[in-house]
Structure 1
Amino acid sequence: MGSSASRDRFLESLNSLATTAVSPDDSDFWDELWKLPTTNSEVFSTFTPGLIRTIRSDQFNNLETLFTQATAQMCQIVETPYSIYFDQALNCVRVLTRITPFLIEIDPNHSEIHTILSKQIDEMCFSVPAQKHTEVLGGEDEGEAQPLALLVVHAAMHMLFLPQFTADYYDEEDYDDEDSSDDEDSDRDSDGSKRALPAVEVSGKKGPKSPQSPDGLDTKLSHQSPPTSGGKIPFSPKSKLNSPSSSPQGRPPPPPVDRNSNSISLAPSPSSLIWSPSALPGFIGNSSKKASNPENAYTSNRLEVLLLLLTLSSEPLFHTTTPPRYLPLLTSPSCPNAPLMFYSLLNTVLGYNPRSSSIPYGSAFGNQSEILTSSLHLLNVLLSYGEPCEILNKGVDEALKVSKKDTGNVYATLLLHLSSEDDMIFCCEGFIRLLNNAHLSLNTYLPLSVERLECFEEVLTLFWFFLRNESFKKCLLEVADVNKIVVPLCYLMLEENSNADMVRICTLILLKLTGEREFSVALNRPFNTHLPTSLPLFRGTHCDLLALTMCTKAQKSDDPSFIVILANVSPYMMSLSLVTSSKIMSLLKFYAERVFWKGSLEKVGWLVEVVNNIVQYQFSGNSAFVYACIRGKAVFERMNLSAQDITEGWLKTQRKLIAANKKHLLIAQPGEGFMEVINQTIQLATIDRLLGALAPKIDKFAVTSNGVVDEQDLLDYIKKQTLVGILPVPHAIIIRKYEGGSGEWLRCYLWGIVFLKVKWPVWDGGQIRLFKVNTE
């Protein structure tokens, strides 16, 4: 942590920016500002929202210089990645993270002043600089100038995989501690303090010049570069990273970039830089690299850069109708290291093991849950934007290629085209491990001995995105045990502190999965897991678990999705327990009594369809369900309504709703065609024949037993019965597939999670327009 003196000097410099016009040529002021030792907490506490807005409105040129200098210094550290400058680079990242939300929150329609500010910010970040340089960041042609927004995005993407800063690029034998200390000593001032990066010209302002990058960033430095001894520099100031001469000894150089090609390869390069490798071959995990240490030395630096990228992506928080401008840069196929970041974030998330420690309470001695949450936030935000790119080489067994002019989302493209069986198994196991932590962390002999994650909503959102991938869905249904996903979904829906949005994302996932026959068939496997919920005790299958969960939620919510899920799986329920059967009948009775309420008639129709499906297709194994139907015979009899019953029922319902001040729930007065609607919606032919054939037999069986019938004897008696020749012609099985997206709701939900869970107060809640923040 920075000393109190350095904090005071930092605050003094910031106050100067708010009151005095500081020249971009004042190298003493800017050099001192950047080399002051700070921490993230000090930057956020010292650089207050009020101070930033004051600089923005009163001394905008100072803010522009601050943003430009920080961006340029980040570019420079990518070019000359010496550890002596890493603290200075982190200062730049922290400052950019702090001020960016106050640059993108401006609503030009708010006032005339905001319109002027918006124009200034647009010219600063997104307009091409008037003074062009011969060598610039990311340009396809020599002399092509680039906007500052593109510079900061590309520089941050490079910093995520900067050797010895956020990535381990060398083998142990490549290190030379003696040379390293010599290098650092040579870059200190005479008083022993760290020397700031020299200032050079960038777009007409003083600051470090834009550096060289794997994607064409090439700059001639106008100052003396740090010494190049020891072979520790991954690329020299005047050479490109994809040059063989700049690759460390023993490491293959990245493939050269074909400037004349019209396509971009989506293969990560070099793949050795992917974070958190597993034992799998391929890009999700990397068998050629040792598994990363849980106490990874680069984690804190990665967190800072990830937070900056998340901040740059946060335009949807403030502008709900205007298309974002940073997100297209971040998700573009030409964004440097995008495939590396995609696979690194996936490995970090799906390779995480909450039970990695072999001793109870091991997570108390250090864990990686913060990098897990940050990776989830950024990955979900990037996947939620736009549409996938169009692949140029479909069906070809090589790295994916897309057009340079494609404006699609590179991360959505990579996710959609994951297909390796090993990778899919790795992903399925990762989701199973993370989601089951919800209940496994509570089912321990020692309370809280297993780390409990706090990011289940984020994991569920990522799982929702993964369901777009047909290879993943196929692996989940046919190779992995999909019931290991069903159990935590049901638990999270029933958990006491589960919110409505978490219940909804779980519901959407189940809607998507129940559209697949393999999913419903798999539910018939025995359920033996103890869940710490209020569900009634039962012995049965995962069908029972799902049905009980849906019935419980359906009685507390008007959402019809719960009953649709139940209807989708009902043709495949081979053996329901008596507890579940009674619960379904109770739910049917609950809605049958409200048939004249809005939406209830359709729900009754779906529940009758559930009964028909089980009786028609799974009669032999469902004696308990048939018994529950016979016991609820009166419910079905009341649903055989006549015209007079409809009129009387509507009037009775009207009086009840008026008395309860719920008149808005009443349907319009039934007309002549309502009887036809009833008959089309509620199909009772199958259940009527079941009751007509078995109800008298059950009554006779009870009489012969002198009125004392053991329940198990009755179930055994029903098992011996048959309905062959009694039931009508089998009706068609209807499966309602959910094909829609989640639209605006998902974006609000996702950003709401990010806003609440980000460690630092990045955004001012009072300025957010995507959702309402209670600031009281």
Structure 2
Amino acid sequence: MMYICMRVRPVHTFGGGSKAGDYTGTVFEWLPPALAARQEDLQLSSPPVSWYLVDNSDLQASSYGLGYRASKDLEDLVPSKAAVWGERVVGQHHGDGWIQVGDFFLPEELEGKRVLVAQDDQEPITPFRQKNVYRYMLQHVTKEPEIDLLFTGLLRLLSSVHQAQQTYLPRSMRSVGFYQEALVLLWHVLTLNSNFTKRVVERHDTNEFLLSLMYLLQQARASVHLIGLLHTASFVLLVLSSERAFAVRLNDPYVAKKVPLEIPAFHGNHADVFALSLYKVISESLPKTQNDALVEMLLTALCNVSPYVKCFCLESCLKLVSLVERLSRPSYLFRTPFTHHGLLFLVEMLNNIVQYQYEGNTMMVYAILRQAEAFSKMEKLSLADSKKAGEEGAEVRRGFEVTEEWLQSVKKKLPLHTLQCLIEYLNPQLEVMCVEQDVTDQAEVLRFLKSTTLVGILPVPHPIVIRTYQASGYTSMWFTSYMWGVIFTRSQRMPLYDWKKIRLVTINQ
């Protein structure tokens, strides 16, 4: 049984919205005595809570939504977090022009225009009716020993899946059956609790967790019924890749094959494990339109870590650069209005490597030079390529038509200038060297590239841009659907449900 909400397209990079997993209006009717007492205290001391519409009708802003503030200061914006225009949020009115939504604040007015409108027709709610009390307690775990205990426990549960496959004695160790739920719990605490995330990436060996996650990604890729696990693991990777400490630790050497991963043999670091594992998922997902959001998410994670990776091995370089040709094919690029996002992130990833880690990544530079024709074709894309793709029977999203204006906007966003400068400067020199010195050895080419400096040739390095998961009502709905699907399939041995009356999924044909 598939339990995926296929109509949902996660806006993990460019969107904004309510806090992840705010199950608005959902209440636990029974609470343990300690939590019930805590609830009564908060209800007595907190301002009234109401519904508010995030309204853009007066302001007419061109932004995606209204930015959250960390305090009651318009300049104190929370990066990459916004309430989407037209969304309803639950907040506490402080009587000073500010509405508190969870731990953040939204202004009632901007530039003299009202942007939050009270929804008086909605049923009033108490503070704890806007969120799950257990999630609230999890969000406020701040003691380091408690964080360590929670993370190591979840890691032990997730590691049991691959450890059960590597025992010498059959069935001497068994995998836990609830590893999907454990991964979702880890994802929730990573996105809810910034103290937890900071402690994990700075003090724990996240590479050990990465290997377990790559194994789960590999298992989910090969099983249709685990497609929800595939997306959940990708969400976790997106969150972790936005942390600098996680990306820097990927440079640690990968010496022992601790986890049975289906990747080529190589000599390198954990960044290579990361790249080769994601390449396999991306490569198999490209032909499937329903996986476009997954491809975009994984390429975003690769783009996030790329400025910090000192060296990719030969296998990783060839695999990653080969994606340039595949993602730039008209049959893929013009399939939907959004498929070009993956190509944008891939080109930006190569820019990051060239501008920030050139010395250790001469193999990646060599791979880019070998794909010079693919970059040239990208620059020359035209409407004729779109029509040709349509004539060849390429699958195109219904209602989407490629126009000259749209194509020029896409080409304008493609950061090709750095790579074009690289190719125009190095390719002629390599051709002359190969002809005059009769060079046929790849090692000679790599030595030449390593001894070459591009200072003054390439444009000024652009600022490092990190993109992370951005919660919205759509992603909350997706995770809710996924978890209920897992719960339902886990309960088939006992007659807890009349399955004929349960509708878990909406399939998008």
User: What TM-score results when the alignment is normalised by the length of structure 1?
Assistant: 0.46
CA distance in 2, matches of 1:719, 1:581: 16
Alignment map for 1:81-480 (pairs within 5 Å): 327-330=28-31, 334-335=35-36, 406-407=128-129, 409-467=132-190, 468-480=192-204
What do residues 213-268 of structure 1 show as CA deviations (whole Å, max 9, x unaligned)?
xxxxxxxxxxxxxxxxxxxxxxxxxxxxxxxxxxxxxxxxxxxxxxxxxxxxxxxx
Aligned to 2:483: 750
CA distance in 2, matches of 1:606, 1:332: 50
2:314 to 561, 578, 583: 578
Structure 1 388/452 Cα, relative in aligned 2: closer, same or farther at 3 Å?
A: farther
Higher RCO (C-alpha under 8 Å, 6+ residues apart): 2
Alignment map for 1:713-728 (pairs within 5 Å): 713-728=444-459
Aligned to 1:534: 262
Would you say how many aligned residue pairs link Structure 1 and Structure 2?
A: 384
Offset, 1:674: 4.1
Alignment map for 1:572-721 (pairs within 5 Å): 572-594=308-330, 595-598=333-336, 599-641=338-380, 645-657=381-393, 662-664=395-397, 667-671=400-404, 673-674=405-406, 676-709=408-441, 711-721=442-452
Offset, 1:413: 2.3
Aligned to 2:47: none
Aligned to 2:468: 737
Letter in 2 for 1:694: L
Contact 2:214 2:261 survives alignment (8 Å):
no
Offset, 1:727: 0.5
Contact 1:331 1:410 survives alignment (8 Å):
no
Contact 1:602 1:681 survives alignment (8 Å):
no
Aligned to 1:492: 216
Aligned to 1:549: 277
Contact 1:627 1:715 survives alignment (8 Å):
yes
Offset, 1:333: 6.1
CA distance in 2, matches of 1:730, 1:418: 39
CA distance in 1, matches of 2:211, 2:262: 14
Unaligned runs of 5+ in 2: 1-22, 40-88, 93-99, 101-125, 286-290
Residue 763 (str. 1) matches residue 497 (str. 2): yes
Structure 1 771/426 Cα, relative in aligned 2: closer, same or farther at 3 Å?
A: same
Contact 1:597 1:666 survives alignment (8 Å):
no
Aligned to 2:240: 513
CA distance in 2, matches of 1:602, 1:424: 36
Contact 1:477 1:518 survives alignment (8 Å):
yes
Contact 2:251 2:310 survives alignment (8 Å):
yes
Aligned to 1:563: 299
Contact 2:276 2:316 survives alignment (8 Å):
yes
CA distance in 1, matches of 2:185, 2:368: 40
What do residues 547-574 of structure 1 show as CA deviations (whole Å, max 9, x unaligned)?
2222222231322211111111121121
The percentage of aligned residue pairs carrying the same residue is: 30
CA distance in 2, matches of 1:429, 1:600: 38
SS in 2 for 1:722: coil
Structure 1 440/622 Cα, relative in aligned 2: closer, same or farther at 3 Å?
A: same
Larger Rg: 1
CA distance in 2, matches of 1:494, 1:694: 38
Unaligned runs of 5+ in 1: 1-320, 339-385, 391-403
Contact 2:335 2:396 survives alignment (8 Å):
no
CA distance in 1, matches of 2:506, 2:34: 34
Contact 1:388 1:412 survives alignment (8 Å):
no
Contact 1:566 1:610 survives alignment (8 Å):
yes
CA distance in 1, matches of 2:398, 2:237: 28
CA distance in 1, matches of 2:455, 2:187: 43
Offset, 1:726: 0.7
User: What TM-score results when the alignment is normalised by the length of structure 2?
Assistant: 0.69
CA RMSD of aligned residues (A): 3.0
2:251 to 499, 521, 524: 524
Letter in 2 for 1:412: R
What do residues 166-216 of structure 1 show as CA deviations (whole Å, max 9, x unaligned)?
xxxxxxxxxxxxxxxxxxxxxxxxxxxxxxxxxxxxxxxxxxxxxxxxxxx
Contact 2:334 2:402 survives alignment (8 Å):
no
